[in-house]
């Protein structure tokens, strides 16, 4: 197989929508493993943008754009795995006792990552820095209220 | 904020390319956590398509298409975290001692998930079943050679 063929056929277009609807998992353990996994992948790619924003890594438009696109997609995933009966892991009981607030925090993050993705695709580093900060605030706000220390 | 506004601004377009280039991780533990997380998310969404293919869940075009798009995107991620010095986890030593074969297996999976995604977007259940089987074979082939029992 020619390399060209691989690269051409390898472009995957994803269209995801934000939301906080629950999905079915076999059991609570599977749900916890899934949501922690999705958050780990998101945090890894967010951290790579952070290194650029903090000046620890050089700015490369393509890399930041790719990382931001992954962050935006990943930010839509974890919430489906916080359904009833999946208490545990690092989640505070407040996720379930104040679920409307939790869902609102999850939506704020998803919207923030969409802005970050737009900024990253535009290639304007100042916009990226601003959107990165806002996204970090959305992460922190949710962690403060809903993640165990 | 109106719901409509959220939905409209929530469409995220991702373009990813297949590959097996290594990324930098803080340490081996972080790399292992990342790759296992990416594989967990991929397996979860692949399993949801599997439930449809096996007749355990009803066929819904939009759901299968979304799951297949996530699988295709996730299939590009784990391999960057199998760099030199990240031995461990469930990975056999063969990942590093026969790295060319491992990378080839990783590329085969990525190509199979692109076909699965195409089939899922088309909405033809027979094509989805065929592509699901081929993707499962690509998973299995790599696990047989490179994953600890």
- A101-133 pLDDT, tens digit per residue, is 999 999 999 999 999 999 999 999 999 999 999
CB-CB under 8 Å, A114 with B9: yes
Could you tell me where the beta strands, DSSP code E, fall in B10-147? 12-16
- When pLDDT is cut at 50, 70 and 90, the band that residue A89 belongs to is very high
Question: CA torsion A68→A144→B32→A113, rounded to 10°?
Answer: -10
A21 touches chain B (CB under 8 A): no
Mutate to test the interface with B, among A37, A50, A90, A114 (most CBs of B within 10 A): A37
Q: Cα A124 to chain center, whole Å?
A: 21
Q: If you ran DSSP here, which 8-state letter would residue A89 be given? A: T
From B57, B145, B62, B83, select the one nearest B109 (Cα to Cα): B145
Could you report the per-residue pLDDT of B39-64, keeping only the tens digit for each? 999 999 999 999 999 999 999 999 99
pTM of the complete model: 0.91
A10 touches chain B (CB under 8 A): yes
Residues A25, A35 contacting (CB under 8 angstroms)? no
Summarize pLDDT for B87-117 with one digit per residue, the tens.
Answer: 999 999 999 999 999 999 999 999 999 999 9
Residue A13 has pLDDT above 90, yes or no: no
Q: Please report, to the nearest 10 degrees, the dihedral formed by the alpha carbons of residues B40, B41, B44, B47 taken in order.
A: -90
Q: Compute the average pLDDT of residues A94-107.
A: 96
Of B12, B40, B107, nearest to A117 by CB-CB distance is: B12
User: Is A38 part of the contact surface with chain B (CB cutoff 8 Å)?
Assistant: yes
**pLDDT, mean of residues B133-140:** 98
Q: What is the C-alpha to C-alpha distance for residues A70 and A42, in angstroms, rounded to an integer?
A: 7
| Rounded-to-5 percentages of helix, strand, coil across chain A | 70, 5, 30
What's the CA gap between B76 and B112, in Å, rounded? Answer: 11
């Amino acid at each position: 197989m020619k390399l060209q063929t691989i690269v051409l056929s390898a472009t995957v277009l994803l269209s995801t929508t934000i939301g906080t609807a629950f999905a079915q998992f076999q059991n609570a353990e599977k749900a916890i493993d899934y949501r922690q996994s999705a958050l780990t992948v998101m945090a890894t790619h967010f951290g790579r943008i952070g290194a650029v924003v903090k000046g620890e890594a050089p700015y490369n438009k393509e890399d930041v754009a790719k990382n931001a696109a992954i962050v935006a997609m990943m930010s839509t995933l974890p919430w489906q795995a916080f359904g009833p009966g999946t208490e545990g892991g690092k989640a505070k009981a407040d996720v379930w006792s104040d679920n409307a607030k939790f869902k609102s925090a999850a939506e704020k993050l998803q919207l923030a990552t969409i802005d970050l993705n737009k900024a990253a695709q535009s290639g304007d580093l100042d916009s990226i820095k601003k959107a990165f900060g806002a996204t970090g605030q959305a992460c922190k706000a949710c962690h403060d209220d809903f993640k165990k220390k």
